[in-house]
Amino acid sequence: MSRKATTRNANGSGTIRQRKDGTWEARFTVCVDPGTGKQVRRSVYGKTQKEVRQKMTAAQGEIDKGVYTEPSKLTVGKWLDIWLDEYTNGIKENTKATYCVQVKTHIKPQIGAVRLSELKTIHVQAMVNKLARDPKKPLSPKSVKNVNGVLHKAMAQAVILKYIPLNPCIGVQLPKVVKKDIKALEEDQIDAFLSAIKGSPYETILKVDLFTGMRQGEIMGLTWDRIDFKAGTILVDRQMIHEKQKGGKYKFATTKTGQVRKLRPMPAVMRILQQHKAVQARQRLAAGPAWVVEEGLEGLVFTDENGRHFANSTLTHNVKHFGEMAGVKNLRFHDLRHTYAVSSIRAGDDIKTISSNLGHATVSITLDVYAHYTEDMKKDSADRMEQYAARFSNL
């Protein structure tokens, strides 16, 4: 066959020709433009006639099945930019900021230059392995999973738009995430912790958290209008977050799960809050013009002596400090929440109530997180039933 020779498929849907540079091209019909009625044709290229024929046959098979995706010069990096701009507007602001960091820091440097149409599972697997095994700064298994999760979401949208036929993140083997044991204070440690915080500027916020189990952002963002002293309830419908971008401010946002819950803490907590309200009123009077009312954060329950909100880092540092005073190393703010949950289990509260108070999306999450303690709960229940059943002489 001469260099300019052209062959046509028997069904007339495609042609193959050799180009002037010696490579081969196959042109075939993808569809009919509904606006013009004209055929929309595309080309594939290869070094041999056999290669382009195979490519064309494969493409025609996908067209027949309705799964054909046009080859594109769009890179993974460019698609991720489009996805972040156009398809993540419904998620929380800080979540989107996290996505942007993961894309910029971990995904683009590894596979950003790869054409979207050519991205394969092996490329994603290589990225995952490199992130997990980086000799200088390896990511934790959980962080690797999160990065892959972001890429998975972006690729899923590309599949929906038919930019790619399959999600290349499917089938990737991720490093195993080892579930960390929760740290909950024992009764003697709770007593020691309460002694350690006594008289400090953080006594009330830490004490209230220890006996309500609110997330750090939730208790930081608690305002007086969410507390009903007459009904003895606390409404938890938002949290305070720190914007992750440079120069970000603190502001209110929805709760972690987007759920709203109403707590009915023990009366002692409500008394503590009433006393604290009086203390804050005296502080405000003493501060006079120096008292700060932060725009967008009005009515905060927990502030410093000049009305300013507490910072995440300040609370984190002080919880660790007071923990060490109580003989507990590396105590985190979130461990106070765990302590509340475990204390509730030990007090005999039913798991559904505990889950509701914690604001978990489902009871199964509570059961999973506190599996060890719920087993103890079952044993205690069996012991109580044994004592109850002892009153029946015929058993």
CA-nearest of 101, 106, 103 to 83 is 103
The amino acid that residue 118 corresponds to is E
Q: How far apart are CA 304 and CA 306, in angstroms?
A: 5
CA-nearest of 165, 160, 78 to 120 is 165
**Mean local confidence (pLDDT), 20-28:** 90
Of residues 393 and 297, which shows the higher confidence score?
297
- Summarize pLDDT for 323-354 with one digit per residue, the tens: 999 999 999 999 999 999 999 988 888 889 99
- Summarize pLDDT for 353-374 with one digit per residue, the tens: 999 999 998 998 888 888 877 6
Q: Does domain 76-160 have CATH number 2.170.130.10?
A: no
Q: Are 224 and 301 in contact (CB under 8 A)?
A: yes
The residues that bridge with 239 in the sheet, in sequence order, are: 253
Indicate whether 31 pLDDT > 90.
no
**Mean local confidence (pLDDT), 261-290:** 96
What stretches of the chain adopt beta strand conformation (E)?
6-8, 14-18, 24-32, 39-46, 227-228, 233-236, 239-242, 250-253, 261-263
pLDDT at 390: 76
Burial of 107 from C-beta contacts in 10 A (0-12 / 13-18 / 19+):
buried
- Contacts for 197 with CB less than 8 Å, ≥ 6 apart: 203, 206, 207, 322
Q: How far apart are CA 171 and CA 173, in angstroms?
A: 6
Least confident interval from 210-219, 255-264, 269-278: 255-264
pTM as predicted:
0.69
pLDDT at 34: 65
Q: Please report which confidence band the pLDDT of residue 291 belongs to, taking 50, 70 and 90 as the band edges.
A: very high
CATH superfamily for 187-383 is Intergrase catalytic core (1.10.443.10)
Indicate whether 161 pLDDT > 60.
yes
Q: If you write DSSP's letter for every residue of 302-371 in order, what string do you get?
A: SB-TTSPBPPHHHHHHHHHHHHHHTT-TT--HHHHHHHHHHHHHHTT--HHHHHHHHT-SSHHHHHHHTH
Q: How far apart are CA 349 and CA 351, in angstroms?
A: 6
Where do we find the tokens 């419904």? 90
The amino acid that residue 310 corresponds to is F
Q: Specify the DSSP class assigned to residue 170.
A: T
| Helix (H), strand (E) at residue 157 | helix 141-160
